[in-house]
Amino acid sequence: MPIFDTHCHYNLEPLLNDWQEHWQLAQKNEITHTTIVGTDIQTSRQAIALAKNSENLFAAVGYHPGTFGEHATDFVEGQTVHTERMYAELELIEEELIEMITTENPVAIGEIGLDYYRLRSKGLKREVIVDLQKKAFRLQLEIAAAHNLPVILHVRDQEERTENNAYFDVLEILREHTPSKFVLHCASGPLSYITEAIELGAYVGFDGNITYPSADHLREIFKLTPKDRILLETDAPYLAPELHRGRICEPWMITETAKHLEEELGADLAQIYENSFSFFDIERNDIE
């Protein structure tokens, strides 16, 4: 059964250096198409460059919410937070993304969203980083709408957080800026959040962690997702499935996730394959 890996990072190490070998091995394991997803401007440009090597490789461009925490020292001097530098960064992101969209034709905006799980503030107040993430998220949703592109959402938080929870902050923003299509990448979060996102039109992406013995919550999410809105992802080099847990996730390992979904959860892999083309609005060109 052919597989479309809708979220992979050939553009990140340790895959990047030998990405051609990983792609060839993936194809030998019936992975026919892959979307390479950006996490910032550099990796988005790398995704575009790699996708040019095959008509069955596609690029998504976007600025990951966690990147702001990692670059926080760019905005801080001592105890002073230079918010004007942050907003200048947002303007640069907007310019770069629009330039890539208009010249390179990526298939989606992503991965974007909110991530409060482990804020790397490095001296910045939590609310400053959260505010910046929200501004970047709204900005990129507006860019997606202007160019009629689907959106790949990264959303993560500690589910027990009762205030300023990323999952429910995302819902609030999505109600204001609902994309034409969007996917909850590596789905997680309270079932109430998942349910409302699906009501707003969400597709839901499942990765190798759904195969973990402790992943009953993810299996519950799978069961409540409409069959025509399920997508399959690796998120390689992250989240290797149970049989390879603890190793670097290689793109071919998505076959283990597919097998688990089919055998343990009754997934229709042919339907999931079709869903992938529908989500990205890509015409099938595989030979079966």
What pLDDT does residue 34 have? 98
What pLDDT does residue 288 have? 44
What pLDDT does residue 286 have? 58
What are phi and psi for residue 164, nearest 5 degrees? 50, 50
Pairing assessment for the beta strands 80-81 and 76-77 based on DSSP bridges = antiparallel
State pLDDT tens for residues 230-247.
999 999 999 999 999 999
What pLDDT does residue 158 have? 83
The low-confidence residues of the chain, meaning pLDDT below 70, are: 69-81, 120-125, 159-162, 286-288
Residue 162 has what DSSP assignment? -
What pLDDT does residue 154 have? 97
What pLDDT does residue 81 have? 67
What pLDDT does residue 264 have? 96
What pLDDT does residue 151 have? 98
Q: What is the DSSP string of 19-82?
A: HHHHHHHHHHTTEEEEEEE-SSHHHHHHHHHHHTT-TTEEEEE---THHHHHTGGGGEETTEE-
Q: By C-alpha distance, which of 49, 163, 179 is closest to 113?
A: 179
pTM score, two decimals? 0.94
What pLDDT does residue 76 have? 64
* Collapsed DSSP state (helix, strand, coil) of residue 109: strand
State pLDDT tens for residues 100-146.
999 999 999 999 999 988 775 555 667 777 888 899 999 999 999 99
Place of tokens 């910032």: 40
